[in-house]
Amino acid sequence: MALSYPTLPGDIDHLIADDHAVVERQFQHLEAGRGNRRVLVDQITTELSMHAFAEETVLYPIWKEIGMEEENHDATGEHQQIKDLLVTLGDTQPGEPAFEGALTELMAVVRHHVADEEGQELPEFRSKVGAERMASLGEDFLTAKRRGPTNPHPAAPNGGIKEKIAGALAAPVDLIRDRLSGADAEAATDASGLLNAEAQAIVDAHASLRPLPFETLTPKEARKQPGPDDAVKKVMADRGLEGPEPVGSVQDLSIPDGAGGTQTLRVYTPANPAVGRLPVIMWIHGGGWVLFDIDTYDASCRALSNKTGAIIVSPDYRRAPEAVFPASHDDVVTAWRWLVLNAAEMGGDPARMAIGGESVGGNMAAATSLQLAQADEPMPRAQVLVYPLTTGEQFGESMEDAADGRPLNRPLLSWMAMHAFMGKPDAATDPRIALLDWTAEQRAVMPPTLVITDERDVLRSQGQQFATDLEAAGVETTHRYFPGVMHEFFGASAVLAEAEQAQQDAAAHFRAAFDRPAAAAV
């Protein structure tokens, strides 16, 4: 079940519900008989162990302070029961009676625990503690998860300073145990069985690099972890494939940002450019406004430059939490306006310009188009939105059926929003974020749009809804859906057929717009 009241992404009850959604979806895979049964259970074990430790050291002590301990005594008892069952699952193998019996009981206990917690305990907790304290407790919750054990310890103290000490001692031991057993190399993969073989190889490669869970780290720590580009590079290396894809040239320029400083603009020219001025595409990278940079999305830009014959320009906008919303959006708009004035100097045609991006880059592409239309400025001839974020809300069925997806899961999405909107609780309702809240008139000014979505992606439903909304508003809209692949698949064309096809679709959309007479372009 879901929380019945509004929360902000960094609130402790919001974070708890995200964890619940991940485990519930993994239970569903197990019940459906799909995926890697051993890996799914190992992932559930890690998630529940860290989650239980964080609740017991952050949430439950406050329950005692506010008089909730006695009335919710069953919650702590269920945690103990869960830990005991996880030990049994760790000591047995799928198919063995003890394993299957413990798993069936674990599902029942966890689901009962979640129903009580989300339906009664968390609403009461918020009411008694106050909504304004939820965010600081959320930070404490993530810190506890980051420092907590990754395996169950039923004999450890339950709550208070003794459990914190026990957890601090157990955590490094668990990390060694996970490394020796290989569990840490499985933690970041997608064990659902819903990915095709090529996509599975990519997420497995990423997991083999042993990244820590982004959603429990600080932004600085998370940025040091291997990203989706590293996974693709590993698969390429394993297959003996050379890279990166050669282009005509790559150059970094320094241009103004939206705050009076500077930002880097990376400029790609195609390997075999046509004679004369080339069309220009501004391609905006993803990363939830917090992670990644223009290096991470280098492969997408190289591929699009060669496939479109256009100059690709990638802005290295400011990121949160150092620069929260709307800093990234301001930098992107500033970069577009600079390009309009300077495209000719770099060999581009200012009359043939387009825009696009991946994930939050797709969000900023559409938001930029709206801002330009409202300011009566030159518009992009076309836009391509690859698995775009179109609302700050947890929208649609993909928030449930892809809650456990990798590399983007529901907890990580909340973590990104928590940092991107820090100190600005109304940011998610701003038109630059809440694209699904646009009026028909706002939608109607969009240029011809291609929206690309994929199956194992929490953003799938909102991207598909935005495509539907644009089409209903009379915008020339194309939607391409790719089953069996995951968020961040677009740049993996060297090792993933669906990525190659998606890039071909994007290139065809751009080329068609560039070939139209200027008056008919928008």
Among all residues, which ones are annotated catalytic?
359, 457, 487
CA dist 101 and 380 (Å) reads: 59
Amino acid at 480: R
Q: Residue 278 pairs with which residues in a beta bridge?
A: 348
CB atoms within 10 A of CB 377: 12
Amino acid at 302: R
Q: At what angle do helices 97-116 and 37-54 cross, to 10 degrees?
A: 40
Is the separation of the CB atoms in 21 and 400 below 8 Å? yes
Tokens in use for 168?
A: 């601090």
Length of the chain: 522
Is the separation of the CB atoms in 93 and 99 below 8 Å? yes
Reduced to 3 states (helix: H, G, I; strand: E, B; else coil), residue 349 is strand
Is the separation of the CB atoms in 180 and 115 below 8 Å? no
Burial of 385 from C-beta contacts in 10 A (0-12 / 13-18 / 19+): buried
> Which residues fall within 8 angstroms of residue 488, CB to CB, at 6 or more apart?
228, 286, 358, 359, 407, 408
Running DSSP on this structure, what letter comes out for residue 77? H
Running DSSP on this structure, what letter comes out for residue 397? T
> Tokens 């649609």 belong to which residue?
396
Is the separation of the CB atoms in 184 and 178 below 8 Å? yes
* Residue 55 Cα to chain centre, angstroms: 24
498 closest CA partner among 511, 510, 487: 487
In three-state form (DSSP H/G/I as H, E/B as E, the rest C), the secondary structure along 166-178 is HHHHHHHHHHHHH
Strands lying side by side in the sheet with 348-358: 249-256, 262-269, 311-316, 278-284, 348-358, 383-386, 449-456, 477-486
Is the separation of the CB atoms in 283 and 357 below 8 Å? yes
- Cβ burial 25-64 (10 Å sphere, 16+ → b, else e): bbbbbbeeeebbbbbbbbbbbbbbbbbbbbbbbbbbebbe
Q: Residue 482 pairs with which residues in a beta bridge?
A: 454
> Which residues fall within 8 angstroms of residue 277, CB to CB, at 6 or more apart?
344, 347, 348, 349, 352
